[in-house]
A and B are shown apart, each in its own frame.
Chain A
Amino acid sequence: MTTFAIYSITAVVLFCVGLMGLAVHPNLLRKIVCLNIMAGGAFLFLISLAYNSQGPEMDPVPQAMVLTGIVVAVSATSFALCLTRMIKERTGQCHLEGSDKDKDN
């Protein structure tokens, strides 16, 4: 129970920290890093659930889902980074239009 409690709470905190960062940073690169932090939190929560489950062994389905998820996350990240490069090349800036970049970046 307690290991589950520690890791599930950590997962929730990581998710929310990532979400907060996603809102705070105007820079697209940092937004992508924050998305990856959120993904880490979601994966951690799934696996702590599997760890907590009662059964003949640890629940393998969430483990398989997270393995798939890690590879999907890196594909999505690389595509997002590629789009970021494209935006940088086209506009010379690394943030989306409308975000108040001038103040902080």
Chain B
Amino acid sequence: MNLIFDLIIAVCLVGISMRIIFARGHFQAIVLFITYGLFLALAWTRLNSPDIAIAEAAVGAGLTGVLLMDTLGAIKTSEEKKMRIKVPLKLAVMSIVLVIVLGYSALQIPSDFSGLSLTVHNAMPLSGLEYSVTAVLLDFRSYDTWLELGVLLTAVIGVLTVRRRNSLTGSALPAPAEPVGRWIIKILLPFMVIIGGYLLWLGAFAPGGAFQAGVVLAGAGVMLWQAGHPCLAVLSNSSWRLLLCLGFSTFLILAASSLYYADQMLTHPQIKAWILGIEYAATISIAICLISLIQASPNSKLDKVS
């Protein structure tokens, strides 16, 4: 039964990806891409990875979809022709050969390898956490998480530089608030904030954690901004910048301070506060950076005026 479900998801994923390639209009391709993200989220739940399913549904389908739609609105020309996509024969043959070679080598992977799960399992008591994915993210491979926050921050700085802006606060309202939008916010926002906080708290012992909470909060922020709600504009420019850098700088401070009592960076003593501090800072920074990435790109007309 599960196998049939797997097969349905697999066929849908491949079908949707082909449709994205052959879609004539860009709008159609983007809507199909959002569908693709949702099907991927289904595949993650089937593969026992609820963490990734949450992140994919919020980021892969949601935020990327918003970004793509936003850009489409900016670059669309009125006389855009519906194009017919033709794949050259050589390219099609090459792709099929690549599928066969990669697929064959994927099936040659022995099924009795244990990966790193045993190593992580044995090291779990050292981390003070009960859930292994959170332990890997915030403790065993915290370099990855640190640099990932660095990538997010760099992306925000990059977008601001390309758009020639030095402030994010001016672009808080894309549209005047409509009554319907306000009602939706009133209903949805409390749920999203509660779910975000719950996921953050859950991360210590069950699927959940900084990333998932951060992306859910970012979704809430984008909803506020899209509906024209003024509460994001309350943040002053300097506090906005502070929140952007919070995650990265928390890591930096902790890494530097750990050099005082240990030989290596980011080795931490057995205190919950350490992990907790990193987790909360990372959540806030991820949420604020993702909101900024979406806020920063549009409103080029508004910029030219100001």
Binding site for B on A (CB under 8 A): 1-21, 23-25, 27, 29-30, 32-34, 36-37, 40, 43-45, 47-68, 70-79, 81-86, 88-89, 94, 104-105
Docked-complex contact B136 and A61, CB < 8 angstroms: yes
Docked-complex contact B148 and A3, CB < 8 angstroms: no
Docked-complex contact B43 and A7, CB < 8 angstroms: yes
Say how far A37's CB is from chain B's closest CB, in angstroms.
Answer: 5
Asked if B18 is at the interface (CB within 8 A of a chain A CB), the reply is: yes
Q: Is the interface of B mostly helix, strand, loop or mixed?
A: helix
Docked-complex contact B159 and A33, CB < 8 angstroms: no
Q: Is the interface of A mostly helix, strand, loop or mixed?
A: helix
Asked if B236 is at the interface (CB within 8 A of a chain A CB), the reply is: no
Interface residues of B in 168-219 (CB under 8 A from A): 211, 215
Interface residues of B in 87-105 (CB under 8 A from A): 87-88, 91-92, 95-96, 98-99, 102-103
Docked-complex contact A105 and B40, CB < 8 angstroms: no
Residues 150-175 of B, flagged 1 when their CB comes within 8 A of A and 0 if not, give: 01101110110011000000000000
A-B contact pairs, 30 of them (CB 8 A): A1-B111, A3-B6, A7-B6, A8-B103, A9-B106, A12-B106, A13-B103, A17-B14, A20-B92, A25-B21, A34-B21, A36-B60, A48-B47, A50-B49, A53-B115, A55-B115, A57-B121, A58-B48, A60-B136, A61-B117, A66-B49, A67-B51, A70-B56, A73-B60, A74-B290, A81-B67, A85-B74, A88-B74, A88-B75, A104-B83
